[in-house]
């Protein structure tokens, strides 16, 4: 029940629309029942049994008499018949107005609740740390955001459609049946609990099977996402056939699990209809028994009773389907709530201070960090970065360089030790204020499927002149002007319409526009060719002026002019100093330097240099 209540909580802000839908459903159901009650006077007039309403009346006939008795009792049979027919048409029209209002208000409440759930889900994702994204497939998150929330929203629509509207109709019809013959109707009421027990084991399996199907759908979405993102690699390795087989296997698993779930979910409807038909047969037998016993009902009452009983089948079937739909919705909701219940580890408490800006020094003091327990990536790192200095971090891949710089914008926080900004722990400052004080130009530049100008101004509300000025400083203005629509050209998903060098210059322009006091360059030119690198290096040189800069690099040629170079090896700072001093010291830095600057023959049979350091002439 807890999860049902949690889902219903999303309807609470839209309770007026929900209440309006319920009121309209009750209005329509009552009128529908009243239309059926009008069959009694209609049949009496058609078969000329007597007046439209007899003197000895059932409860239903008394209600009709009080409501419209004076109007349907005309001057004769023809007048009464005309009035009753007109009344049935009018009541039916009013009923349908109520149905339309109930459906519209119900859809409004449903879609509004679904929108709120998606909005909360997306906002929650923004508050989760990078560690969560590193261990969670993006395709699974997309599946939960779209398909699972859609599945959960079935609870709202089916509750409004089946449980409320159809449920009210069941109550109205059963009320009419009781008023016509309480003895026959009592048989139905006594059999209802036994019928409900038939569905309990089915419903338990429905939820678990839909959960399996949802997981298979998430895996399918994740695989499709990976294949689309790696389209170039797939074609390069001629792996289309392999990917088709892999996708086909995942698709088959999804289809099989979905068919099993749908098969189980389909059982309650035909079962309920069959059992209800059996109940009607029992009613007929009971009615015959009453007739034999001398307690026969009037013909018009018998016919009306049968019509109402048959009309009861449809709403009963819809109500019987609700538990299966609810279990299906709950299977999707559980996957959504699983994410919403993840603790927010990338948000700040209300009392966190705003970073006022760097005045003197950044200090990494005895910093330890591990992504998994006791698997230390950084081990007691001590490093000082003074305002206006350029500090370079070098070392082999996996040494911990990028992890170290991720501590500065608090993408991660130290497990032990601390990062101090002018003597104040970085954890005392809000993440947002810290991140707005710096800019990052990384090896893999993220370009969004938007215009060039929107990518440069990402997250900022600035004038066009400022965007153009930043692009000029980043050596990007000329190539942007040559694009089909200039600054308004859409660059495709992940910037596929641009070259690597162009994407990198867009990133530099983005950083220049922000004008941050602290700059992080994380392998900013390592993936570029010589021509592109030269252009980007010129832009970066302008970007670095009058800023505190932290550089991560494999290639030592990019850090020769740094004020301080720190060498990291297996999470430990083993050397630091200026380039000339480190080379003269003959330690780890000199080994890296020799590997990079010592040319090797093209036909060398060696297995390559130690680490990932690149050779350049």
Same domain as 377, residue 315 = no
Question: Over the range 426-448, which residues count as b (16 or more CB within 10 Å of their CB) and which as e?
Answer: beebbbeebbbbbbbbbbebebe
Same domain as 214, residue 98 = yes
Given a cut of 80, whether residue 533 has pLDDT beyond it is: no
Helix, strand, coil share of the chain (percent; to 5): 65, 10, 25
Residue 347 CA, chain-centre distance (Å), reads 19
Tell me the average pLDDT of the chain. 81
Same domain as 576, residue 546 = yes
Query: For residue 198, what pLDDT is reported?
Result: 64
Same domain as 474, residue 366 = no
Closest CA to 189 of 170, 163, 165, 161: 170
Token readout for 87 is 């009344």
Contact 171, 295 (CB under 8 A): no
Given a cut of 70, whether residue 232 has pLDDT beyond it is: no
The two beta strands, 390-394 and 564-569, are parallel
Helix/strand/coil for 355? coil
* Mean pLDDT value of segment 222-251: 74
Query: For residue 289, what pLDDT is reported?
Result: 66
- The radius of gyration computed from the CA coordinates of the chain, to the nearest angstrom, equals 37
| Residues in Cβ contact with 304 at an 8 Å cutoff, skipping those fewer than 6 apart | 36, 37, 39, 40, 43, 60, 180
* Mean pLDDT value of segment 255-275: 76
Same domain as 575, residue 478 = no
CATH number at residue 295: 1.20.1560.10
Q: pLDDT (tens digit, 9 = 90+) per residue, 433-450? A: 898 888 888 877 788 888
Given a cut of 60, whether residue 221 has pLDDT beyond it is: yes
Q: How far apart are CA 169 and CA 417, in angstroms?
A: 67
Given a cut of 90, whether residue 96 has pLDDT beyond it is: yes
Number of domains in the chain: 3
Domain's final residue, options 308, 340, 372: 340
Domain membership of residue 501 as a residue range: 448-515
Report yes or no on 584 lying in a domain: yes
In a 10 Å sphere around its CB, with 0-12 CB exposed, 13-18 middle and 19+ buried, how is residue 617 labelled? exposed
Query: For residue 248, what pLDDT is reported?
Result: 83
Helix/strand/coil for 142? helix
Q: How far apart are CA 105 and CA 91, in angstroms?
A: 21
Same domain as 365, residue 336 = no
Report yes or no on 443 lying in a domain: no
Token readout for 599 is 């040319």
Polymer length of the chain? 617
DSSP H helices, 341-398, are: none
Query: For residue 614, what pLDDT is reported?
Result: 32
Residue corresponding to tokens 């008499």: 65
DSSP calls for 487-540: GG-B--GGGTTS-HHHHHHHHHHHHHHH--SEEEEESTTTTS-HHHHHHHHHHH
Same domain as 378, residue 501 = no
Report yes or no on 522 lying in a domain: yes
Query: For residue 63, what pLDDT is reported?
Result: 84
Contact 483, 452 (CB under 8 A): yes
DSSP assignment, residue 394?
E
Q: pLDDT (tens digit, 9 = 90+) per residue, 307-355? A: 887 787 778 777 777 777 777 788 888 889 999 999 988 888 887 899 9
* Mean pLDDT value of segment 163-172: 82
Q: Which residue has the higher pLDDT, 270 or 245?
A: 245
Report yes or no on 459 lying in a domain: yes
* Mean pLDDT value of segment 205-219: 77
DSSP H helices, 295-448, are: 299-340, 401-406, 431-435
Same domain as 127, residue 172 = yes
Q: Which residue has the higher pLDDT, 537 or 234?
A: 537
238: left (phi over 0), alpha (psi -120 to 50) or beta: left
Contact 390, 563 (CB under 8 A): yes
Side-by-side strand order, sheet with 390-394: 438-442, 518-522, 548-553, 390-394, 564-569, 572-577
Residue 108 has, within 13 A of its CA and on its CB side, a CA count of: 16
Token readout for 332 is 């999707």
Q: How far apart are CA 100 and CA 435, in angstroms?
A: 51
pLDDT-based confidence at 607, cuts 50/70/90? Answer: very low
| Residues in Cβ contact with 39 at an 8 Å cutoff, skipping those fewer than 6 apart | 300, 303, 304, 307
Domain's final residue, options 466, 490, 515: 515
Q: How far apart are CA 239 and CA 174, in angstroms?
A: 64
Domain's final residue, options 287, 305, 340: 340
Same domain as 404, residue 263 = no
Q: How far apart are CA 30 and CA 575, in angstroms?
A: 85
Same domain as 457, residue 562 = no
Q: How far apart are CA 476 and CA 508, in angstroms?
A: 9
Bridge partners for 521 per DSSP: 441, 551
Q: Which residue has the higher pLDDT, 135 or 599?
A: 135
Q: How far apart are CA 98 and CA 42, in angstroms?
A: 24
Query: For residue 126, what pLDDT is reported?
Result: 86
Q: How far apart are CA 410 and CA 427, in angstroms?
A: 8
Token readout for 270 is 């035909």
Same domain as 527, residue 487 = no
Token readout for 540 is 């970066």
Report yes or no on 211 lying in a domain: yes
Q: How far apart are CA 409 and CA 177, in angstroms?
A: 71
225: left (phi over 0), alpha (psi -120 to 50) or beta: alpha
Closest CA to 520 of 612, 385, 400: 385
Q: How far apart are CA 591 and CA 568, in angstroms?
A: 13
Number of CB atoms found within 10 A of residue 539's CB: 25
Report yes or no on 539 lying in a domain: yes
Q: How far apart are CA 513 and CA 518, in angstroms?
A: 13
pLDDT-based confidence at 13, cuts 50/70/90? Answer: very high
Bridge partners for 577 per DSSP: 565
| Residues in Cβ contact with 413 at an 8 Å cutoff, skipping those fewer than 6 apart | 407, 426, 427
Same domain as 520, residue 510 = no
Token readout for 54 is 């007899």
CATH number at residue 611: 3.40.50.300
Closest CA to 283 of 199, 181, 195: 181
DSSP calls for 211-241: HHHHHHHHHHHHHHHHHHHTHHHHHHTT-HH
């Amino acid at each position: 029940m807890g999860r049902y209540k949690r889902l219903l909580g999303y309807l609470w802000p839209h309770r007026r629309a929900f209440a309006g839908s319920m009121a309209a459903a009750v209005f329509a159901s009552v009128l529908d029942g009243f239309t059926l009650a009008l069959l009694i006077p209609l049949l009496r007039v058609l078969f000329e049994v007597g007046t439209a309403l007899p003197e000895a009346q059932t409860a239903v006939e008394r209600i009709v008499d009080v409501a419209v008795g004076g109007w349907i009792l005309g001057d004769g049979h023809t007048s009464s018949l005309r009035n009753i027919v007109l009344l049935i048409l009018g009541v039916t029209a009013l009923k349908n107005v109520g149905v339309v209002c109930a459906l519209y208000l119900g859809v409004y409440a449903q879609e509004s609740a679904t929108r709120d759930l998606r909005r909360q889900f997306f906002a929650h994702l923004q508050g989760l740390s990078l560690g969560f994204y590193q261990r969670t497939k993006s395709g699974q998150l997309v599946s939960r955001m779209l398909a699972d929330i859609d599945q959960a929203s079935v609870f709202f629509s089916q509750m409004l459609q089946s449980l409320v509207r159809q449920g009210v109709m069941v109550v109205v019809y059963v009320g009419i049946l009781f008023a016509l013959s309480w003895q026959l109707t009592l048989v139905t009421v006594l059999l209802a609990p036994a019928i409900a027990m038939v569905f309990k084991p089915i419903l338990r399996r429905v939820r678990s099977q839909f959960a399996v199907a949802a997981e298979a759908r998430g895996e399918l979405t994740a695989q499709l996402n990976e294949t689309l993102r790696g389209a170039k690699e797939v074609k390069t390795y001629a792996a289309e056939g392999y990917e088709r087989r892999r996708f086909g296997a995942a698709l088959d698993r999804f289809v099989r699990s979905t068919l099993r779930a749908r098969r189980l979910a389909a059982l309650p409807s035909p079962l309920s209809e069959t059992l209800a038909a059996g109940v009607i047969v029992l009613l007929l037998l009971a009615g015959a028994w009453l007739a034999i016993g001398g307690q026969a009902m009037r013909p018009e009452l018998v016919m009306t009773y049968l019509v109402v009983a048959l009309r009861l089948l449809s709403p009963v079937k819809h109500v019987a389907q609700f538990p299966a739909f609810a279990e299906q919705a709950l299977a999707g909701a559980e996957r959504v709530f699983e994410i919403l219940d993840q603790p927010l580890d990338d948000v700040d408490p209300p009392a966190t201070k705003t970073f006022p800006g760097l005045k003197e020094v950044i200090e990494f003091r005895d910093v330890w960090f591990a992504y998994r327990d006791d698997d230390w990536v950084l081990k007691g790192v001590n490093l000082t970065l003074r305002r206006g200095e350029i500090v370079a971090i070098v070392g082999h891949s996996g040494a911990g360089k990028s992890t170290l710089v991720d501590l500065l914008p608090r993408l991660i926080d130290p497990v032990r030790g601390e990062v101090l900004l002018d003597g104040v722990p970085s954890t005392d400052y809000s993440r947002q204020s810290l991140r707005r004080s710096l800019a990052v130009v990384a090896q893999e530049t993220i370009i969004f499927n938007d215009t060039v100008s929107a990518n440069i101004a990402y997250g900022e509300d600035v004038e066009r002149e400022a965007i153009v000025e930043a692009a000029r400083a980043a050596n990007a203005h000329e190539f942007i002007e040559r694009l089909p629509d200039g600054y308004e050209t859409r660059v495709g998903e992940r910037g596929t319409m641009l070259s690597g060098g162009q994407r990198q210059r867009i990133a530099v322009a983005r950083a220049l526009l922000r004008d941050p006091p602290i700059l992080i360059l994380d392998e900013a030119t390592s993936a570029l060719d010589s021509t592109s690198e030269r252009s980007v290096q010129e832009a970066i040189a302008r970007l670095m002026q009058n800023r505190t800069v932290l550089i991560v690099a494999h290639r030592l040629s990019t850090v020769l002019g740094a004020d301080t170079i720190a060498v990291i090896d297996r999470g430990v700072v083993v050397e630091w100093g200026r380039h000339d001093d480190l080379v003269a010291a003959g330690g780890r830095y000199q080994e890296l330097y020799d590997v990079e600057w010592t040319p090797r023959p093209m036909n060398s049979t060696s297995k390559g240099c130690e680490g990932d350091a690149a050779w350049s002439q």
